[in-house]
């Protein structure tokens, strides 16, 4: 049965925000890219609001045009979260690490050590890499998809087996007896086509046993893998209908892998710029957009509105003649939203400032509008929770915690406080340790 409370986490992928111009805002320190105190401050803010986790994506190459913006991804997710772990107490810490390069022994050790030092608050976003730039950094070319996922399956199985290699039964250090019972700290001896490990891993169970496994909803291969291994799946549906379908697909993938679909949570991406009024929020977004070249988005908008012309007056509402000929593309929620905003009298620049072309559904508006979006999706079974993206962290995270969280609590759809201490508790997941017999059978 679905929980009555939604799960909320923040994508803290760099220290500025999801908008590429956030670093240029006068109230932002442009040196934040390398400042761990800033990451810690945002994680603590999120913890103050009782949010279940912070999340760091990763791409394994220098991603971004440095002339225009900072590197889009964090210097190193695991190292960063090790520092955040020491400065926080309850919030979950989800690190992305690719299955395509690092040997499972190292992946297993780093993630479980982080889980132990954070007292059971770690999640692993296990992704196969996909960009040639990432493979080039390991002297490789992108392999065929089947090989990429074959390696992912092997890596997931070896990592989980290693996590379980120091059994609970090994006990606690006994100064008069054994430090740990070696009979319960055993090798795993797994060898596949791509990776393998002997084990055991020198890391005992954490408070939640082992890290929670998060995986993205990607191609059929990715969904099948998520059905087998993931505790939590993240995706970017663009509408409630798409969210519902994706959540159902993920649940079916879990059922096909012999699991109870209730044990897999689906989180949808959502983006926000929050203001005291919708106009304030739009002003903030416009200040960010002012640093980007909007000629491309304006042409795209014209096409999305079904118009054959360029906008010569982007700050004026559409003319009656233009309004008479706008048409939404059928089945395209972005186009439908753009048409609705243009018809409501917003200028092309303002339609863009409503974030119609963000890669996930975004709200530029008040705390109530943000809460409405989350509630509507949650109650429609389009998601069990959300990966929150803020245009500008320096205003967005505090704004969400102080103004949106109280509304969600008042509506009874977000917990008043942390009910448990581990990330597994925050997600409402059952205990899990080591490679399950279900997966071990698959691994043969």
What's the CA gap between 297 and 319, in Å, rounded? 19
Task: Select from 128, 167, 199, 398 the one that contacts ligand FMN (CB under 6 A).
Answer: 128
What is the contact mask toward ligand FMN in residues 204 to 243, using x (rule: CB under 6 A)? ------------xxxx-xx-----------xxx-------
Q: Which of residues 46-85 bind ligand FMN (CB under 6 A)?
A: 57-59
Task: Select from 39, 80, 96, 273 the one that contacts ligand FMN (CB under 6 A).
Answer: 96
Least spacing, CB of residue 147 vs ligand FMN, in Å: 11
Least spacing, CB of residue 288 vs ligand FMN, in Å: 23
Least spacing, CB of residue 130 vs ligand FMN, in Å: 3
Residue 96 assigned as binding residue:
yes
Least spacing, CB of residue 337 vs ligand FMN, in Å: 21
Q: Helix axis angle, 240-256 relative to 220-229, nearest 10°?
A: 60
Task: Select from 91, 127, 339, 352 the one that contacts ligand FMN (CB under 6 A).
Answer: 127
Cβ proximity to ligand FMN, 10 vs 301, nearer residue: 10
Least spacing, CB of residue 214 vs ligand FMN, in Å: 9
Query: How, if at all, do strands 92-98 and 53-56 pair?
Result: parallel
C-beta atoms surrounding 293 within 10 Å: 9
Least spacing, CB of residue 106 vs ligand FMN, in Å: 17
Cβ proximity to ligand FMN, 201 vs 374, nearer residue: 374
Cβ proximity to ligand FMN, 46 vs 126, nearer residue: 126
Q: Which of residues 251-310 bind ligand FMN (CB under 6 A)?
A: none
Q: Helix axis angle, 77-87 relative to 104-117, nearest 10°?
A: 10
Least spacing, CB of residue 66 vs ligand FMN, in Å: 20
Cβ proximity to ligand FMN, 46 vs 223, nearer residue: 223
**In sequence order, what are the residues at sequence separation of 6 or more whose Cβ sits closer than 8 angstroms to the Cβ of residue 289?**
21, 349, 352, 353
Residue 58 assigned as binding residue:
yes
Task: Select from 130, 291, 357, 418 the one that contacts ligand FMN (CB under 6 A).
Answer: 130
What is the contact mask toward ligand FMN in residues 9 to 48, using x (rule: CB under 6 A)? ----------------------------------------
Least spacing, CB of residue 251 vs ligand FMN, in Å: 17
The residue range among 26-34, 102-110, 126-134, 305-313 that interacts with ligand FMN, by the rule CB under 6 A, is 126-134
Q: Residue 143, Cα to own-chain centre: how many angstroms? A: 25
Residue 218 assigned as binding residue:
yes
Binding residue numbers: 58, 96, 149, 218-219
- Residues at the interface with ligand FMN (CB under 6 A): 57-59, 96, 98, 127-130, 145, 216-219, 221-222, 234-236
Binding residue numbers for FMN: 58, 96, 149, 218-219
């Amino acid at each position: 049965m679905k929980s009555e409370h939604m799960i909320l986490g923040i994508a803290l992928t760099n220290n500025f925000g999801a908008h590429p111009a956030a670093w240029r805002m006068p109230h932002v320190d442009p040196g934040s890219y390398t400042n761990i105190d800033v990451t810690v401050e945002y994680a603590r803010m999120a913890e103050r609001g009782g949010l279940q986790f912070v999340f760091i994506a990763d791409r394994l190459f220098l991603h971004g045009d440095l002339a225009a913006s900072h590197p889009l991804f964090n210097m190193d997710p695991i190292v960063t979260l090790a520092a955040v772990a020491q400065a926080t107490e309850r919030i979950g810490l989800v690190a992305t690490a690719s299955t395509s390069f690092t040997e499972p022994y190292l992946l297993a050790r780093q993630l479980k050590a982080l889980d132990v030092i954070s007292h059971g608050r770690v999640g692993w976003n296990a992704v196969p890499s996909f960009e040639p730039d990432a493979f080039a950094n390991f002297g490789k070319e992108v392999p065929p998809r089947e090989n990429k996922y074959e390696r992912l399956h092997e890596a997931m199985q070896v990592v989980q087996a290693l996590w379980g290699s120091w059994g609970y039964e090994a006990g606690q250090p006994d100064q008069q007896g054994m430090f740990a019972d070696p009979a319960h700290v055993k090798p795993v001896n797994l060898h596949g086509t791509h990776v393998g490990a002997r084990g055991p891993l020198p890391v005992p169970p954490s408070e939640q046993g082992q890290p929670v496994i998060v995986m993205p909803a990607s191609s059929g291969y990715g969904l099948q893998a998520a059905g087998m291994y993931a505790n939590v799946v993240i995706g970017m549906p663009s509408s409630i209908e798409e969210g519902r379908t994706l959540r159902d697909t993920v649940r079916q993938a879990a059922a096909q892998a012999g699991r109870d679909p209730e044990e897999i949570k689906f989180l949808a991406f959502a983006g926000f710029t929050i203001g005291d009024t919708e106009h304030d929020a739009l002003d903030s977004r416009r200040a960010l957009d002012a640093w980007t070249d909007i000629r491309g988005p304006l042409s795209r908008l014209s096409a999305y509105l079904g118009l054959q012309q360029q906008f010569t007056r982007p700050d004026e509402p559409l003319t009656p003649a233009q309004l008479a000929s706008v048409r939404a593309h059928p089945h395209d929620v972005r186009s439908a939203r753009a048409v609705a905003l243009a018809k409501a009298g917003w200028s092309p620049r303002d339609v863009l400032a409503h974030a119609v072309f963000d890669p996930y559904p975004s709200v530029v508006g008040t705390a109530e509008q943000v809460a409405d979006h989350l509630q509507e999706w949650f109650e429609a079974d389009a998601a069990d929770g959300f990966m929150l993206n803020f245009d500008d962290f320096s205003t967005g995270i505090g704004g969400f915690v102080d103004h949106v969280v109280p509304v969600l609590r008042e509506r009874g759809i977000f917990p008043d406080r942390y009910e448990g201490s581990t990330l597994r508790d925050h997600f409402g997941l059952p205990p899990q340790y080591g490679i399950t017999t279900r997966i071990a059978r698959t691994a043969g």
